Amino acid sequence: MSRYRVVASDHFWLTLNPLRRKYSHEQIVEIILIVKEAILELEEKGYVDEAGWNDHRLVRRPFAGGSHFEFHIYDDDVLVVYFKRERKHMIRMVGIYDHSTLPG
């Protein structure tokens, strides 16, 4: 049984588009598979520690405020941002970025 409800909208997946210029098709497929594994882990645990690493709360704009988190995947260069509502056990996936496309 899932502990958290995780929502990954079409907009979330579209944030990957700028990275398509940086990575090959095969690499993008691998990144998507890793993100999907991480989503399953978020549903179960509410955080990521196997599919990705360095899961931490974000403190800089535009993600300041205490409820946005980020974890790293794919050689530490792909950053996945999510928003957690602990009381409602809900997680909204925000975006997939690299260090140059991360908003802020």
**pLDDT confidence of residue 55:** 85
Into how many domains does the chain fold? Answer: 1
Q: What are 71-100's pLDDT values in tens digits?
A: 999 877 899 999 999 889 999 999 999 988
Residue 87 lies in a domain: yes
**Spatial strand order in the sheet of 5-7:** 5-7, 90-97, 78-85, 68-73, 53-57
Give the domain extent around 86.
Answer: 5-97
Range 12-29 average pLDDT: 96
The CATH number of residue 59's host domain is 3.30.2310.20
> For residue range 48-72, what is the model confidence (pLDDT) as tens digits?
988 778 888 888 888 877 799 999 9
